[in-house]
Amino acid sequence: MSNQEVILKQSAIPPAEFNFDLLLGGIKSAMEGVKSRDLWMISTEDIEKLHVLEGLNVRIKDKALQEHIRDLANKMKAEGFKASKPLEVIVLEEGGESRLVVTDGHCRLAAVKIAIEEGAEIKQIPCIALPSKGTSLQDLVAGLVTNNTGKPLTTYETALVCKRLFSYGWKEAQIAERLAFGEAYVNMLLELVSAPLSIITMVQNGEVAATFAVEMMRKHRGKAVEILRQGLTSAKASGKSRVTSSYLPGAALQKLVKRQASSLYEAAKSITQDPGYKRLSKDTRTKLDQLLADIAEREIALDEKLKKKGAVEPGKETERQTRRP
């Protein structure tokens, strides 16, 4: 990457763990004076009644988020606040008072405030309320994924939800079932949460796939950041925006070796048949003999597998069999 690489600030990333003493209140008292149809319609004059629970939202405060909110505000200025995209709220008791807290629609709330400040004549904000009984903090956190009706969370933001649920004592299988993910995917997300900021930035920017980033972290540990940086530099030099295995350091050599594998194999066999082979060191001969033995063993196993599938007719030899020493 260039010297102008911009890494996300830690303050822009929501906490991986979130705890709050949830005391539910009554919807009727909190919505006193508010019009109700199928939705609760809150007057924009009372917009300050809509609170945000600091730290609950897992969206990363980056440029993409600001552009998304700006786009929403522009649409609201032109079309108003659509009732088909209401805010989701819950009533919490705090200091003896009922507060309306937004649990889904944080971006829409920020956008409508901008639209109103810029002259939009929006009179009401549609809201739906979560049940005042039986709703837990875990429900609110899981709902950031399952109840999301706006912009989909990024992979890393979803990983933060998984980490929070894991910190509440949920097992990987329980998280997977609740969020409708595969268990292996949840495990990958839990590893992604602990990635360095440089890798988080690359994942968030779409410069590397989350699965590939985790694969590199597993394989290279502390060197993963630099390897991915070099790979991204190579990718961008080739006009690409995302690093893949093809752009990692040494990838070109690996491709060349793979293309020349057959020639290298034949050359290695010829060395063992050379009269001077015995004059090589014992360690070198052992390594070469073991390598050729492993290849021969795999060839036999592959031939047997092909025969079982009917790919090799009885009495006929494959090319591998005929060239085996």
Q: pLDDT tens digit string along 64-75?
A: 999 999 999 999
DSSP label of 151: S
275 and 176 in a common domain: no
Structural domain contains residue 317: yes
Band of residue 37 on the pLDDT scale cut at 50, 70, 90 = very low
State how many domains the chain has. Answer: 2
Looking at the predicted structure, is the pLDDT value of residue 217 above 50? yes
Whether 216 maps to a domain, the answer reads no
Rounded to whole angstroms, the Cα distance separating 14 from 10 reads 8
What is the mean pLDDT of the segment spanning 53-64? 92
pTM above 0.85, yes or no: no
Q: Could you tell me if 149 and 278 lie in one domain?
A: no
- The predicted-structure confidence for 176-210, as pLDDT tens digits, reads as follows 999 999 999 999 999 999 999 999 999 999 999 99
Of 194, 220, 253, the domain-final residue: 194
Domain membership of residue 305 as a residue range: 267-322
CA atoms within 13 A on the CB side of 323: 13
Which tokens go with 266? 């034949």
Least reliable range by pLDDT among 12-21, 127-136, 215-224: 12-21
**Pairing status of strand 40-43 against strand 124-129:** antiparallel
Q: Which of 82-91, 246-255, 299-308 has the lowest mean pLDDT?
A: 246-255
Question: How far is Cα 100 from Cα 224, in angstroms, rounded to an integer?
Answer: 44
pLDDT reported for residue 31: 55
Query: Quick check: is 208 in a domain?
Result: no
177 and 284 fall within a common domain: no
CA 269 to chain centre: 46
Question: Would 41 be classed as within a structural domain?
Answer: yes
Last residue of a domain, one of 137, 160, 194: 194
Q: Mind listing the pLDDT tens digit for each residue in 268-319?
A: 777 877 777 788 888 888 888 888 788 778 878 877 777 777 654 555 454 4
Say if 74 falls within a structural domain. Answer: yes
Pairing of strands 97-104, 50-52: parallel
Cβ within 8 Å of residue 151, ≥6 positions away = 68, 107
* Residue ranges with strand state E in 85-209: 87-94, 97-104, 124-129
- Asked if residue 84 has pLDDT above 60, the reply is yes
User: Same structural domain for residues 170 and 290?
Assistant: no
Considering only residues 157 and 15, tell me which one the structure prediction assigns the higher pLDDT.
Answer: 157
Lowest mean pLDDT among 128-132, 239-243, 300-304: 300-304
Query: Best-predicted range by mean pLDDT among 15-29, 110-124, 143-157, 215-229?
Result: 110-124
Question: Tell me: the pLDDT tens digits for 149-167?
Answer: 888 999 999 999 999 999 9
